[in-house]
Amino acid sequence: MNKEFDVLDFFFNWKGRIGRKHFWFGHIGLAVVSNIIMAILANYFKIENLFSDSIIGLILFWTTMVIFLFAGFCLDIKRYHDRGKSGHWLWLYLIPIIGAIWILIELGFLKGIKGLNKYGEDTLKIN
């Protein structure tokens, strides 16, 4: 069954699975939109560094950054689910350089589990 695409569910819900294609499109979309919004905020509030004088600008800037970071983590968790693993594997980000490289290879390039797993239906069957 093909359900309607829900942007909020895609970016802000960590339940379910996504394939590599949706993972890449999601992260590229987040990067483009977040950079545009951050540039607009930085320009409007004259934010020259992350510890600027504009309190309201910094609050908006940091809040926006946290929202986009959360959306990226949701995509990563769903991609780990497609690989048959828990989202707890994101703790690898805490290992400098090697952790991020490992996550990029595993989520961006390795295939997911075929068929049903404990996180949901195979993404290739759904699409």
Residue 33 CB coordination number (10 Å):
12
Q: Which residues of the chain have pLDDT under 50?
A: 1
Quote the pLDDT of residue 96. Answer: 95
Domain limits at 90?
A: 14-126
In a domain, 84, yes or no: yes
In a domain, 7, yes or no: no
Which residue type, as a one-letter code, is found at position 60? L
Quote the pLDDT of residue 50. Answer: 63
Helices (H), the chain: 7-12, 20-44, 55-82, 98-109, 123-126
Quote the pLDDT of residue 47. Answer: 76
Convert the pLDDT of each residue in 38-51 to its tens digit.
Answer: 889 888 888 776 66
Question: Total domain count for the chain?
Answer: 1
Quote the pLDDT of residue 43. Answer: 86
In a domain, 3, yes or no: no
Quote the pLDDT of residue 1. Answer: 42
In a domain, 5, yes or no: no
Convert the pLDDT of each residue in 59-78 to its tens digit.
Answer: 888 899 999 999 999 999 99
Are residues 75 and 11 in contact, defined by beta-carbon separation less than 8 angstroms? yes
Q: Identify the residue whose tokens are 């390039």.
A: 109
CA 100 to chain centre: 13
Phi, psi of 47 (to 5 degrees): -85, 115
In a domain, 49, yes or no: yes
